[in-house]
Amino acid sequence: MVCRHTSKERHIQGDLGFLILDANKTGIEIKNNMLIDSRMASIVTFNNVEILEDEILKFEQTQN
């Protein structure tokens, strides 16, 4: 299932609870052990929910 979103926030419910993304943010931050980057775009899976990769990159990419 693809994440539905409003003009201001995207609410993604997963095993860890709700991940709330502010659509106005254009930078990168860490939430629920995931790297959020609003500058990319494709579909990935987060806690069994498919979302736009512009919202989330795989956390292991930060483990360098």
Domain boundaries, the chain: 9-62
Q: How is residue 16 written in tokens?
A: 């860890």
What gap in Å lies between CA 13 and CA 63, rounded to an integer? 24
For the stretch 17-26, pLDDT in tens is: 444 444 444 4
What gap in Å lies between CA 17 and CA 41, rounded to an integer? 23
What gap in Å lies between CA 26 and CA 15, rounded to an integer? 25
For the stretch 9-51, pLDDT in tens is: 444 444 444 444 444 444 445 455 555 554 443 334 444 455 5
Q: Does this model's pTM top 0.75?
A: no
CA dihedral (11, 21, 47, 50) positive or negative: positive
